[in-house]
Amino acid sequence: MRPALRAGTLLLGALAAALLLPAPADAYVGPGAGFAFLGSFLTLLLGFLSAFFSLLTWPVRQLYRALRRRKAYGRARVQRVVILGFDGMDPELAARYMDQGRLPHLAHLRDTGTFRPLQTTFPPISPVAWSSFLTGVNPGKHNIYDFLARDRASYLPYLSSAQIRPAKRSLRIGRYLLPLGRPQTKLLRKGKPFWHFLGEAGFFSSIIRVPITFPPEKFSGVLLSGMCVPDLIGSQGTFSFHTTRPGAAPKQQGGREIPLEPQGRLFRSYVPGPDNPLRRDNPTELRVAFSLRPEPGQDLAHIDLPGQGFTLRKGEYSDWIELEFKAGLGIKVPGICRFYLKEVSPHLELYVTPVNIHPGKPALPISHPFAYSVYLAKLLGLYATLGLAEDTWALNEGVLTEEAFLQQCALLQAEREKMFFDALEKTPRGLCVCVFDITDRVQHMFWRTLEDDHPARQGSTNNHGEVIADLYRQMDDLVGRTLRQLDEESLLLVISDHGFKSFRRGVNLNSWLCQNGYLTLKKGAAPGEWFQNVDWERTRAYALGLNGLYLNQKGRERAGVVAPGQEADAVKAELRERLSGLLDPETGRVAIREVFGSGAIYHGPYRENAPDLIVGYNAGYRAAWDSVTGKVTGSVFEDNTKAWSGDHCLDPRLVPGVLFCNRKIACERPAIVDIAPTVLELFGVELPTHLDGKPWVVSDKPLP
């Protein structure tokens, strides 16, 4: 017999033997075959059981829901509301580009439906405005006034939206402290999102990356948290920059520089992780070591991590790389990051994104239900979970080039579009909301490309003059693709939380307060960040965050000196008078249009947590970088030369957002706070009495 024929016969014989043999083989299906068949069989079985159970109980659940929320959709004027949130889309720019014919889909909405400026909040900052969007109330009721709030005892800032603490219980094993459970997360935003009321009324919602939804709350639907989800080390995003260049960047804001140590042809470094949660007594930073082997001739480098390796070309991002930070006792903290090879020679430079919480194995809850983030990761692949994922600091600090930053933004945008369209498909009825951040981040970083005389443009060529127009065109295309998915029963809202203006000059309020006797430094001491060396016994007011100004009030602040009541009112009135209309001596322009007393603009149970005064900057001005972090400097005014050249933390009347709708809306001055009551009313849900927003009159007639 020829060998090949014989081998074939042998294989056939083996197959026949396995199938026909009476005793050993006929019962056998593993382990090799078992892995495949059992795996797929179990999946199918689970799937069918799950579906069967779901279908079996569906009538019961529907009956229950129908009894509880009778005729929910019967009362609704729409079957589905889709809200596209374009963070920071500016109505003036949108109108300009529409007039130029660059935004056909938005222009179509404008011409046949609605396009209006959308009134924003005091102050016009994303966490504040989106909180008002989702709760339908003013900040006095939802308790978010800025990214940061201040600790009255220490005068130090903390994240205003969420608090993360170690697990409640732990077990001490030798030098280890084993946490029994997940870290505790607490949402500091008050008030219920309007999708909570929709859920109670029997409507399903899919909510993707709406800011200030971390930690996620329970409701009837699915939600992936957005802005303010921390990275794995607990910050709002800390990149690492690995370089062989000596003294490349002595201090990196928003990141860390870590040297690449040469070892033969290799360079060794590590990705920094969180502090070891098991070593409370002596917290040490967890790290994942990696080695890098450059190929200078080919402009690429090989990167080796434990259990995996990959090759990167210069100017290229890696896929999301899964990391495991080993804490001991078999406990691992999973995270993901991307690598970007910036330079191969003469110096090796590697940027690593902040380590994101792994969406498939989240160390903290980032979605509701918990499995939703896992579902998205399994369906669409790994994705950024960090709230502020576009690394604006890395561009600001010169670690990323403009091209690399835009490349990063594009990668993130692609992930979010996939999530949105999946949510849209999964929500044939009910509410679907998705907020896209790219509009905000790119305008922050590239506004200077719109102005030839912007201080941040000094000496540089404008290679990205069309970036913002392209961005708007990209969002318009997204609107077009969304419209194609909608039927006549779907209402589409395209909104933004605020608009944008140039940020040319910074105003250091703390310096002004110091120069005018409201804030006093300790004698002979140099000022530093976070009010270092401020003499609180002789300080009457201080500024913290982007628009907030606080009195150092007796009985409220630890070392307060201003008596509440008349004295406080007098200081506030004095500050309002002196700061409103503050002139920039260098330009002769008004830097601050108006200062608002919080008592006049906020009402609700959490008004006492608000800054005492809200500063409304004029267009072109904003709080100076050092002022935001509580540092007194020599001058009140300074040029803003950073890439971060556009902003919106101004007088809110200057930076309204946008409102587009595929139906006519009758309302003179629509505001972001009105959206919650409007959507509730569209679904026929009774409006909770505490809402501040007023529902708009929306036509029943959809677009032709």
Partner 1 sequence: MSGFLSVVNRGFAFLFQPLQSAPPLVGLLVVSWLTGVLMVLLFRFTSNQKELRRVKNRMQAHLLAVRLFQEQVGVVLRAQWRLLGWTLAYLRHSMRPLAVVFLPLVILLLQLDAHLGWVPARPGDPLVLTARVAAAASLDQVSLRLPAGLELSAPPVRIPEDKEIAWRIQAAQAGEFTLEVEAAGQRVSKKVIVATDLARVSARRGRAGLFEEFLHPDEPPLPEGSILETIQVHYRRRTINLGLFQTHWLVPFFVLSLLSGYAMKGLLRTEI
Q: Distance between CA 497 and CA 672 in Å, rounded?
A: 7
Only segment of 339-347, 375-383, 385-393, 465-473 that touches partner 1 (CB under 8 A):
375-383
Three-state secondary structure string covering 489-545 = CEEEEEECCCCCEEEEEEECHHHHHHHCCCCCECCCCCCEHHHECECHHHCCEEEEC
By CB under 8 A, tell whether 23 contacts partner 1: yes
By CB under 8 A, tell whether 29 contacts partner 1: yes
Q: Which is nearer to partner 1, 32 or 524 (CB)?
A: 32
Q: Tell me, what DSSP letter sits at residue 149?
A: E
Only segment of 268-276, 345-353, 378-386, 535-543 that touches partner 1 (CB under 8 A):
378-386
Q: Distance between CA 221 and CA 201 in Å, rounded?
A: 12
* Torsion from C-alpha of 644, 647, 649, 653, nearest 10 degrees: 170
Only segment of 16-24, 209-217, 464-472, 477-485 that touches partner 1 (CB under 8 A):
16-24
Phi, psi of 456 (to 5 degrees): -80, -5
Q: Which is nearer to partner 1, 46 or 666 (CB)?
A: 46
Write out the two tokens for 447.
Answer: 């506004």
Number of residues that bind partner 1 (CB under 8 A): 58
Binder of partner 1 out of 372, 420, 503, 683 (CB under 8 A) = 372
Only segment of 36-44, 130-138, 501-509, 585-593 that touches partner 1 (CB under 8 A):
36-44
Q: Kind and range of the H or E element at 361?
A: none
Binder of partner 1 out of 2, 3, 5, 24 (CB under 8 A) = 24
By CB under 8 A, tell whether 35 contacts partner 1: yes
Only segment of 38-46, 94-102, 210-218, 663-671 that touches partner 1 (CB under 8 A):
38-46
Write out the two tokens for 481.
Answer: 């693709």
Q: Which is nearer to partner 1, 336 or 541 (CB)?
A: 336
User: Comparing C-alpha atoms, which of 660, 694, 634, 671 is closest to residue 112?
Assistant: 660
CA angle, residues 599, 602, 607, in degrees to nearest 5: 80
Q: Distance between CA 98 and CA 469 in Å, rounded?
A: 10
Binder of partner 1 out of 95, 248, 374, 469 (CB under 8 A) = 374
By CB under 8 A, tell whether 330 contacts partner 1: no
Task: With beta carbons less than 8 A apart as the criterion, state whether 218 and 205 touch.
Answer: no
CA angle, residues 25, 28, 32, in degrees to nearest 5: 120
- Strands of the sheet containing 592-597, edge to edge, are 541-544, 548-551, 613-617, 592-597
By CB under 8 A, tell whether 581 contacts partner 1: no
Task: With beta carbons less than 8 A apart as the criterion, state whether 679 and 195 touch.
Answer: no
Binder of partner 1 out of 47, 104, 181, 605 (CB under 8 A) = 47
Beta strand pairing status for 501-507 and 646-647? antiparallel
Write out the two tokens for 252.
Answer: 């990196």
**Which positions from 385 to 424 touch partner 1 by CB under 8 A, shown as an x/- string?**
----------------------------------------
521 to each of 37, 151, 359, 517, 635, how far by Cα in Å?
74, 19, 46, 10, 15
By CB under 8 A, tell whether 38 contacts partner 1: yes
By CB under 8 A, tell whether 48 contacts partner 1: yes
- Per-residue buried b or exposed e for 570-598, using 16+ beta carbons within 10 Å of the residue's own CB: ebbeebbeebeebebeeeeebbbbbbbeb
By CB under 8 A, tell whether 687 contacts partner 1: no
Shortest separation between residue 150's beta carbon and partner 1, angstroms: 39
Only segment of 49-57, 187-195, 288-296, 620-628 that touches partner 1 (CB under 8 A):
49-57
Shortest separation between residue 24's beta carbon and partner 1, angstroms: 4
Shortest separation between residue 368's beta carbon and partner 1, angstroms: 10
Binder of partner 1 out of 287, 429, 464, 694 (CB under 8 A) = 429
**Which positions from 259 to 298 touch partner 1 by CB under 8 A, shown as an x/- string?**
----------------------------------------
Q: Which residue has the tokens 């587009």?
A: 660
By CB under 8 A, tell whether 425 contacts partner 1: yes
Q: Which is nearer to partner 1, 29 or 601 (CB)?
A: 29
By CB under 8 A, tell whether 331 contacts partner 1: no
User: Comparing C-alpha atoms, which of 206, 220, 135 is closest to residue 432?
Assistant: 206
By CB under 8 A, tell whether 184 contacts partner 1: no
Binder of partner 1 out of 17, 156, 289, 570 (CB under 8 A) = 17
Binder of partner 1 out of 77, 326, 332, 426 (CB under 8 A) = 426
Three-state secondary structure string covering 392-439 = HHHHHCCCCCHHHHHHHHHHHHHHHHHHHHHHHHHCCCEEEEEEECHH
Binder of partner 1 out of 132, 138, 244, 427 (CB under 8 A) = 427
By CB under 8 A, tell whether 556 contacts partner 1: no
Q: Which residues bind partner 1 (CB under 8 A)?
A: 6, 9-11, 13-18, 21, 23-25, 27-40, 43-44, 46-48, 50-51, 54-55, 58, 61, 204, 220, 222, 307, 369, 371-372, 374-379, 381, 425-429
